[in-house]
Amino acid sequence: MSRLSHVDAANQPTMVDVAEKTRSRRTAHARARVLLPAAVRARLVDGELQSAKGPVFQTAIIAGTMAAKRTHELIPFCHPLGLEGCRVTITVADDGHLDIDCQVRVEHKTGVEMEALTGASVAALTVYDMCKALSHEIVIAEIRLLEKTGGKSDFSGRAADA
């Protein structure tokens, strides 16, 4: 069985030392699925939600991007990274619910999975915050890594969608 990466030989929490790792292009794509109750879906106009707090999707995209850039301030042991790219998109699926995608890239010694997951998560939380006046039955159903490249190994969770 392999060890947890953030626990040292003395079983104490620690940040991973990346000094000897090789820089490479690292990418990650995460998705949050937000289930909207009928009261909120009814407010979708031309694929966008408006609230008293402003344009929901645009605000969530900005919040998700800001969160991805500040992941190291939120998650212990994440390395500070100068992200080279971060794209948050929100689409209304055929069932009327939302898919929030966060795609991140960097040239670095460590991956960006946590940045992508954090970006998608905070964007989903922002949708909830901006729409909770319409309903508290909004559900953030799942947040998951879809794909990562670079580093020791690549990962694709898209096979689970097939």
CA distances from 129 to 23, 71, 123, 161 (A): 38, 20, 10, 28
Residue type, 156: S
Annotated active-site residue in 8, 129, 154, 161 = 129
Residue the block writes with tokens 């670095």: 108
Q: Which residues contact 57 (CB under 8 A, 6 or more apart)?
A: 48, 49, 90, 127
User: Helix crossing, 113-131 with 56-69: angle to 10°?
Assistant: 150
Cα-based angle 58, 50, 133 (whole degrees, multiple of 5): 115
Active site residue 94: no
Cβ contact 157:147 at 8 Å: yes
Q: Which residues are catalytic?
A: 129
